[in-house]
Structure 1
Amino acid sequence: MEILLWIIIIGLFITSFVALFFPVLPSVFAIWGGFIIYHFFLNSGELTTFFWISMVTLTAVLLLADVFTGSLAVKQFGGSKLGGRVAAISVIIGAFVYPPFGILALPFIAVIIVEYWQQEDFLSALRAAIGTLIGFLSGRLAEGIIQLIMIGWFFLIIWS
């Protein structure tokens, strides 16, 4: 039974990284699933209150980084609020259309269309679309790093 639980925990951790490219899957919630399975089914005394508070904090940072990097990059590259919203919606739709490429291509194309429609300047629209890509990729990078920290911290505690 313990081996099966470990397979599930590792599977959830792997799912969290797959979710970086398929945002429909739960990334940080998969990590939490692994933590909870370990705590309730393997060893309830090993993960301390400090660990749980730290994981809640890192989860909040992860979610905020994911939300703000895209809109910040769109604004930084001259895009509008509407362009940022369209990019976020397009990422979700793109995950279903042609994953994982849809989450890059669809927001890029959608932002070009929306920004060109608003500004009637193709170079400005292209710059905002590039900002969308940079924001999305930097958000994924930040999310991956935070996930590595969370999972690494977990293993550091249980192995020490």
Structure 2
Amino acid sequence: MHVLAMILAILFFIVGLAGSLLPVIPGAVLIWIGMLVYGLLTNFATLGLAFFIGQALAVALVYTLDYLSGAYGARRYGGSRYAVYGSIIGTVVGLILMGPAGIIFGPFAGSIIGELLNQKPLDMALKAGVGTLLGLLSGTIIKLVIQIMMIIWFFWALYH
């Protein structure tokens, strides 16, 4: 049963890590679920409540930082809340219209459109768009690092 539990956990981890790059996949949640599946299949022999609470806090941190990073980038580069809202709408629309490429172009275009609707000059709107992209990129890197740390913690808890 341990081998099956480990295989399933690793599959959840792989899909979860893909979620770092594809926002339609709830990456951190899937990683946590992989750990929970492992725990359930092994009767929680090696993973305790404190481990799962700590991992749940890591999941919450991932989503908090993910949300804040794009907004921070837009604001850092002079964008208003219109840029932030535009980037959120742009992400959804971009994914629908462009698939995975929409992850990059959607927020960028959305923040620019948001700023233009806010009657900002094109150069300021473009600056907010670039800020949004930089924020999303840094958020993706941070999200990936936290998710890798979650997985390392899992294996450390099992084999330490």
- The residue number in structure 2 matching 1:147 is 147
Aligned to 2:111: 111
Q: 1:84 to 1:144 in 2, by over 3 A?
A: same
Give, in angstroms, the shift of residue 8 of structure 1. Answer: 2.0
Consecutive aligned runs of 4 or more in structure 1 exceeding 3 Å deviation: 1-5
TM-score if structure 2 supplies the norm length? 0.91
Segments of structure 2 that go 5 or more residues without pairing to the other structure are none
Contact 1:13 1:34 survives alignment (8 Å):
yes
Secondary structure of 1:99's match? Answer: helix
Residue 37 of structure 1 and its aligned partner are, at CA, apart by 0.6
Aligned CA-pair RMSD: 1.6
- Aligned equivalents of 1:2, 1:57: Cα separation in 2: 26
| 92 and 8 in structure 1: CA distance in 2 versus 1, 3 angstrom threshold | farther
Residues 96, 2 of structure 1: CA spacing in aligned structure 2 closer, same or farther, 3 A cutoff? farther
**How has the CA–CA distance of structure 1 residues 52 and 3 changed in structure 2, closer, same or farther, with 3 Å as cutoff?**
closer
Structure 1 stretches lacking a partner, 5+ long = none
Equivalent positions of 1:1-160 (< 5 A) are 2-160=2-160
Contact 2:85 2:114 (8 Å CA) reproduced: no
Q: Per the alignment, do residues 20 and 96 of structure 1 end up closer, same or farther by CA in structure 2, a change over 3 Å counting?
A: farther
Deviation track 1:99-129 (CA, whole Å, cap 9, x = no partner) reads: 3211101221122122123234111000000
Partner amino acid, structure 2, of 1:15: V
Aligned-pair CA distance for 1:4: 3.6
8 Å contact kept, 1:93–1:103 = no
Asked whether the equivalents of residues 94 and 105 of structure 2 are also in contact (C-alpha less than 8 Å), the reply is: yes
Q: Are 2:112 and 2:125, in contact at CA under 8 Å, matched by a contact in 1?
A: yes
For structure 1, which segment, 51-60 or 144-153, has the greater mean C-alpha deviation from structure 2 after superposition? 51-60
Instruction: Report the Cα distance in structure 2 between the residues aligned to 1:87 and 1:119, rounded to whole angstroms.
Output: 16
Q: Give the TM-score of the pair, scaled to structure 1.
A: 0.91
CA contact (8 A) 1:16 1:27 kept: yes
Cα deviation, residue 61, structure 1: 1.4
- Amino acid in structure 2 at the alignment position of 1:80: S
